[in-house]
Amino acid sequence: MTEDEMRETLRSTMTATVPPPPMSPAKVLTSARRARLRRRIAWTCAGTVTVIGTMLGGAAIIHAPILPSIGTPPPAQLAAPGRGTDTSEAWPTGPDGNPQQDRTAHAGARYDQGVQLLGAVLAALPSGYDSPETTGDNGGGMQPTRYQQAQFEERVNGTEVWSYQASIAVTDGVGTGHLTVEVHTANNQLPTESCALVGQFWGMGGVCQVVTVGTVQVGVAVQPTRDGRFDQWAAYRYSDGVVVFVAQGRTFDASRPSLTSLPYTVEQLASLATNAAFHLE
Amino acid sequence: MNDRDTGFVEYFTARSEAMRGTAYLLCGDWHRAEDLVQNAFTKLYLVWGRVSRHEVLDAYVRQVLVRLYLDERRRGWWRRERVTSRPLVDRSTPPDAPANRLMVLQALAAVPPRQRAVLVLRYWEDLSIEETAALLHCSAGTVKSQAARGLDSMRTLLMASAPLGE
C-alpha cells in the first residue's frame, strides 16, 4: 500500500462512515468548567497542606498553612519534591502576600523580570527593524504587537522554576514578522543536549543545526514547520541551568504582509540566544 | 456566557467534528472517540487564554488527543475493555456498511498503537514527517519507519481479509 493509497483509503472510509450526531458544546463546556473548578478547589485546599516528609533519621508530619506574608520566601517546602503537577501544588505567593490566582505573575519581581525581558528583546532588534507599538489585547482576538509574561512552571526539589516570555511584532517597514524570547530559570527539567532542547520549544520539531557561538554551542531549528508558528528558533542552556529560547517568524498575522526575509541569520539567532540580557533568575 | 466560554464554544463547534474523526480512526469506536475529544477539549479549556491562535489551538488539541489515546493504550484500558483478540470494530456500524470500510477499520485497529497514530497523523491529518515527529516526541526517522511498517501491516491485513469481505 502506498502513501497515496493510504490517504485515499482513509478518506473513502470516513466518507462511508456515518458519524453520530455532533457533540454537545454545552455538555463539553460544563465538563470543562467542572474540571477548572476542581483545579481551583485543589489550589485552595493546597493552602493547608499536609506534607509527610522524610527528615534526617525519621519521618515527620508537617502542617504548614500558606499564610499571606509579604517578603517571605514562597512555601517551596510544601511542594512534593520533583516535578509537580498542576493540581498538586500551591501557586507561589504574590506581592500582595496571597497565593497567585494562576500561574501568571501580574505584579511583583517576577512580573518585572518579564517586563525587563521585553525591553531586552526590543533593544536587541537588528538595524533596519522596528517593533510597532502594541495594539489589541489578548481577549479581543487580536495579537498584541508587544507582549510579556512571567509564569510559574513548577517546583523542583523545593525550588521554583519560572518562565518568562516576551513576544514582539517586527517590521522592516513593509512586512511584519515576529520574535519571541522565552527564558526558563535554573532547575528546569528541559533537556541538556542542544538539539533535544530545541525540540522542546512549544512541542515543535524541526531540522536542528548546532552552531558554535564563541566557546558555547547553540541548537538552532533551521527548517520551517508547517504550523506556521515560527520559521526558526534557537535554544541555549547556560551552565547554571537557565535556558533561553529565541524564535523568529516571517508572519505576524494575516492582516499584515509577511517579512520577505527573517530578521536574523541562523548564526545571529544562535548568538542572540546567548545574549546575557536574556539570562534571568 | 463570558468571552472565554464564548470563544471556547465557538472553537469547539468549529473543530470538534474534525477532531472526533481523527479520534475515531485512532480508537475505532465513536464512544471512545467522543471521550477522547471531550478530555482533550477540557484540557484546552484549562489553558484557554494562553493559546489564542487558531493553528496553535488545532495543534494543541491534536497533540493532547493523540497522547490521551496512547496513554490509554499504555494503561491497558483496551485490554480491560476488549474481550476478544479481534480488532475493535465500530459498534455503531450499520449492517449494510460497505465491506471495504469494515476491512479498513479492522485492519487499522490491528496495527500497533503508535504505528496507527503515525498513519492517522500522516495520511488523515496530512501532517508532515517533522510535525508528526514533534507531536509524538520521536525522531523523523522513527516516523518514517513507523509509517513504512504501518503501511506494510495495512497491506498485509487487507490482503488477508479481502476474501472474507467479499
Contact check, Cβ <8 Å, A223/B56: no
Which residues in chain A touch residue B34, judged by CB atoms under 8 angstroms apart?
20, 23
Helix ranges restricted to H, A46-193: 108-123
The helix, strand and coil proportions of chain B, stated in percent and rounded to the nearest 5, come to 75, 0, 20
Shortest Cα distance, chain B CAs vs residue A228, angstroms: 8
Residue type, position A77, single letter: Q
Q: What are phi and psi of A28, to 5 degrees?
A: -65, -40
The dihedral built from the CA positions of residue A188, A114, B2 and B56, taken in this order, carries a sign that is: negative
Segment B76-104, tens digit of pLDDT? 444 333 333 333 334 344 434 456 777 88
Query: Nine-digit cell at B59?
Result: 495543534
Query: Nine-digit cell at A210?
Result: 548546532
Total beta-carbon pairs less than 8 A apart between chain A and chain B: 138
Which of B26, B67, B93, B119 is the best residue to mutate to test the A interface, defined by the most A CB atoms within 10 Å of its own CB? B119
ipTM confidence: 0.82
Which residues in chain A touch residue B118, judged by CB atoms under 8 angstroms apart?
none
Contact check, Cβ <8 Å, A10/B25: yes
Which residues in chain B touch residue A228, judged by CB atoms under 8 angstroms apart?
55
* Bridge partners (DSSP) listed for residue A163: A151, A184
Calpha distance B149→B139 (Å, rounded) = 15
Q: For position A157, what pLDDT does the model report? A: 85
**What residues does each domain of chain B span?**
1-76, 94-166
* Bridge partners (DSSP) listed for residue B48: B51
Closest CB to A36: pick one of B46, B124, B155. Answer: B46
List chain A pLDDT tens, one digit each, 281 residues.
788 989 999 998 888 888 888 888 888 888 888 887 877 776 555 443 333 333 333 333 333 222 222 222 222 222 222 333 333 456 788 888 877 766 778 889 999 999 999 999 999 999 999 998 865 443 333 457 888 888 888 788 888 999 998 989 999 999 999 999 999 999 998 899 999 998 888 766 788 999 999 999 999 999 866 555 789 999 999 999 999 999 999 988 767 889 999 999 999 999 999 999 999 98
CATH class belonging to B1-76: mainly alpha
Q: For position B96, what pLDDT does the model report? A: 40
**Mean pLDDT score across all residues of chain B:** 78
Closest CB to B37: pick one of A23, A141, A228. Answer: A23
Q: In the Cβ-directed half-sphere of A199, how many Cα atoms lie within 13 Å?
A: 20
Closest CB to A31: pick one of B42, B63, B100. Answer: B42
Contact check, Cβ <8 Å, B30/A19: yes
By C-alpha distance, the chain B residue nearest A28 is B38
Contact check, Cβ <8 Å, A17/B53: no
**Of residues A19, A23, A21, A81, the one with CA closest to residue A51:** A81
Calpha distance A59→A165 (Å, rounded) = 40
Q: Is the pTM of this model over 0.95?
A: no
CB atoms within 10 A of CB A5: 14
At A209, is the secondary structure helix, strand, or coil? strand
Shortest Cα distance, chain B CAs vs residue A61, angstroms: 32
Topology of the domain covering B94-166: Arc Repressor Mutant, subunit A (1.10.10)
Segment B28-80, tens digit of pLDDT? 888 889 989 999 999 898 888 766 666 678 888 999 999 889 877 665 444 33
Residue type, position A135, single letter: T
Q: For position A236, what pLDDT does the model report? A: 97
Residue with cell string 554551542: A217
Q: For position B70, what pLDDT does the model report? A: 85
- Residue A72 burial (10 A CB sphere; 0-12, 13-18, 19+): exposed
Q: For position B83, what pLDDT does the model report? A: 31
Contact check, Cβ <8 Å, A1/B155: yes
Q: For position A55, what pLDDT does the model report? A: 33
Calpha distance B88→A85 (Å, rounded) = 33
Q: Are B61 and B41 in contact (CB under 8 A)?
A: yes
Q: Are A208 and A220 in contact (CB under 8 A)?
A: yes
Closest CB to B101: pick one of A3, A16, A33. Answer: A16
